[in-house]
Amino acid sequence: MCLGVPGKVVEIDHENQIATVDFWGVKKQVRLEVCDAPVEPGDFILNHVGFAIRRIPPEDAAETLALYDELLRLADEQDLMTADVRAEIDAAPDANRPATGARDERK
Amino acid sequence: MNASDAFAQLKFRDPERARGLRDALDRLVQHADHAPVSVMHVCGSHEQAIAKFGLRAAFPEDLQVIMGPGCPVCVTDVPEVDEAVALAKQGVRIATYGDMLRVPGTSQSLADAKAEGANVDIVYSVTQAVELARENDEEIVFFASGFETTAVATAAVLVDDPPDNLSVLSAHKYIPPVMEIVAEMPETKIEGFLAAGHAATITGSGVFEKFVERHRLPVVIAGFEPLDVLAGLAKLLEVINSGEPRVENAFPRCVTREGNVHAQKLLWRVFRPTGGRWRGIAHVPNGNLRLRDEFAQYDTRKRFTIDASALWDYAPPKLVERCQCGDIMAGISSPAGCQLFGKECTPDKPVGACMVSAEGTCRIWHQYGGRPDLRSVKRGAA
């Protein structure tokens, strides 16, 4: 549970501080309010339980992604690390569902 | 799996570098003025990487890499579990991370309570607990576990105008203080720490500077790639050999000295550190994260009167007395030294918390082969 998972930012909803992030083809909504730096589409972020905790500089992204590529490629459902990675991706809501929307609707 | 197979798994990433790092580890351990050299990491993900990729096969014989209290679920203390179980049995709906379900309390786990009809939801994120609260009128208690990395997410939700029917039962823990406790245990002979990369993303490597000063033990931040782990260990041995303990960041692509300052502010705005017991380890001053008074309205412990006494009239099974999770997390024992491991205690029927969580030493060792220490196997020509 302390293994964050990197994904690529596709789109940003600045008003709600939510990014649409692509994790190996799965698009998710990741919250941006605790991220260390402003992100733009094309950046990578490190997602932990649905929150971006770091912007990954583009030049470091490839190296960061390699471990996850390997885990997900092997797709061993029993594997603890792979399960952690999948849980981290599942922690963020799907991007194609209706946005949780503005504050007054949510409360 | 023999040692050469294990090491061959490293070949998917830069075999030259892996061999170079292994040779460096060999050299550095030989240059130490004593043997064995013992170091500790404090992260379940590090142990997963070490065990999964068979890294112990690549370690020199005289290097002991021990997992310390790096599993937040495992160190959640019995009274904390009792609070959640008591609330669940009172009819309050609980949302929590999956690994928390089967952590034993005094007499019951949340899974036991659920089997008896209590309403317990598994969530992957605190935001899913918020959604549950928005979709339902009833009270939702988020039983929160995790180290500082995860506590930041809980904090972000609490400052974001959460629904009134949500409250947080915090079992969040803070790692730096427990390193002090382990460093001071006379039985442990730890000469340096490998700190978890993603937790340090939040806290920064600087958070360990005072620790190094006080205890004269080096700390190296490392990532989770097999090569990151080897590189982190090589750096740690280098600093140990130098006789000048300091903090080194071997994971600069994710960690800076100051860390994510914004996240730290959020963390300390919502939580205050307080002393408390960590299961099996000790009382850890400042090791527990509890909600500040400003957030009292969302504090489960303030909102409810929790009476767990009904759970205490109970004689623990004899097996529990033989559980060594505490010694294992303190680095004094290992799963291989526990009589229950793999016999009476398995992932299907766990006796101790270390066998429950995917980040527990016992669970990890059980998954990746009883004793993933392949040093007894003749090293292949990887």
Residue B186 has pLDDT above 60, yes or no: yes
Residue B153 Cα, gap to closest chain A Cα (Å): 7
- Is the distance from CB of B237 to CB of B32 less than 8 angstroms? yes
Which of A91-105, B98-112, B284-298 is predicted least confidently?
A: A91-105
Instruction: Output the DSSP codes for B272-305.
Output: EEEEEEETTTEEEEEEEEEE-GGGGGGBHHHHS-
First to last CA, chain B: 13
Q: How far apart are CA B272 and CA B261, in angstroms?
A: 16
The answer to whether the predicted template modeling score (pTM) of the entire model surpasses 0.95 is no
Return the ∠ at Cα B27 (arms to B22 and B30), rounded to 5°: 125
Q: Which of A75-84, B201-210, B239-248 has the lowest mean pLDDT?
A: A75-84
The DSSP line for B19-55 is: HHHHHHHHHHHHHSSSS-EEEEE--HHHHHHHHHTTG
pLDDT of residue B371: 44
pLDDT at B372: 45
Read off the pLDDT band of A52 (50, 70, 90). Answer: very high
Q: CB–CB of B364 and A80 under 8 A?
A: yes
- Is any Cβ of chain A less than 8 angstroms from the Cβ of B202? yes
Which of B117-121, B205-209, B349-353 is predicted least confidently?
B349-353
Give the pLDDT of residue B346. 94
Q: B146 to chain A: which residues are within 8 Å by CB?
A: 1-2, 49
Q: What is the pLDDT of residues B31-84, one digit of tens each?
A: 998 889 999 999 999 999 998 888 888 899 999 999 999 999 999 999 999 999
Q: What is the mean pLDDT of residues A10-32?
A: 95
Whole-Å CA distances, B282 to A62, B116, B151, B287? 41, 32, 21, 10
- CA distance linking residue B13 with residue B17, whole number of Å: 8
In degrees rounded to 5, what are phi and psi of residue B204?
80, 155
Q: What CA–CA distance (Å, rounded) separates B147 from A2?
A: 8
pLDDT(A106) > 50 = no
Name B255's Cβ contacts closer than 8 Å, sequence gap at least 6: B197, B200, B201, B204, B205, B221, B249
Per cent of chain B over pLDDT 70 is: 93
Q: At what angle do helices A80-91 and A58-74 cross, to 10 degrees?
A: 120
Confidence tier at B369 by pLDDT (50, 70, 90): low
Give CA separation, B260 vs A33, B35, B256, B378, in Å. 12, 38, 8, 44
The CB density around residue A22, as the number of other CB atoms within 10 Å, is 15
Answer whether residue B228 shows pLDDT above 70. Answer: yes
**Predicted pLDDT of residue B289:** 98
Q: What is the distance in angstroms between the CA of the first residue and the CA of the last residue of chain A? A: 29
Tell me: the pLDDT tens digits for B125-151?
999 999 999 999 999 999 999 999 999
Looking at the partner chain, which of A34, A56, A63 has a beta carbon nearest the beta carbon of B262? A34
SS3 of residue B185 by DSSP = coil
Mutation site for A-interface testing, chosen from B75, B198, B368 by largest number of A Cβ within 10 Å: B198
The encoded tokens of residue B278 equal: 């960590």
Given its phi and psi angles, is residue B199 left (phi above 0), alpha (psi -120 to 50 degrees) or beta? alpha
Q: Which residues of B308-328 are buried (b: 16+ CB within 10 A; e: fewer)?
A: beebeeeeeeeeeeebbbbbb
Predicted pLDDT of residue A107? 37
For B246-260, the DSSP string reads -EEES-TTT--SS--
The predicted-structure confidence for A57-75, as pLDDT tens digits, reads as follows 888 888 778 888 888 887 7
C-alpha to C-alpha distance for A6 and A3, rounded to whole angstroms:
10
CB contact under 8 Å between B72 and A91, yes or no, is no
- A105 pLDDT higher than 70: no
Which pLDDT band, with edges at 50, 70 and 90, does B1 fall under? very low
Q: Mutation test of the interface with chain B: which of A16, A23, A49, A105, choosing the one with the most B Cβ atoms within 10 A?
A: A49
Give the mean pLDDT of B189-193: 94
3-class SS of residue B56:
helix
A-B CB pairs within 8 A amount to 132
**List of chain A residues whose C-beta atoms are within 8 Å of the C-beta of residue B70:** 2
According to DSSP, the β-strands at B120-123 and A26-31 are: unpaired
Which residues lie below 8 Å from residue A14, measured CB to CB, with a gap of 6+? Answer: none
Q: What is the mean pLDDT of chain B?
A: 90
What's residue B201's pLDDT?
Answer: 93
Residue B335: what pLDDT?
92
Cα–Cα distance measured from residue B285 to residue B184, given in angstroms and rounded to the nearest whole number: 13
Q: Identify the residue with better confidence: B95 or A105.
A: B95
The pLDDT of residue A101 is above 50: no
Strands (E) across chain A are located at 5-13, 18-23, 26-31, 44-48, 51-56
Residue B103 tokens, joined = 């952590």
Among the listed residues B9, B42, B22, the one whose alpha carbon sits nearest the alpha carbon of residue B197: B42
pLDDT band at B19 (very low <50, low <70, confident <90, very high): confident
Please give the pLDDT value at position A67: 80
List of residues 6+ apart from B326 with CB closer than 8 A: B279, B280, B281
Which residues make beta-bridge pairs with A6? Answer: A46
Give the CA count within 13 Å in the CB-facing half-sphere of B51. 28
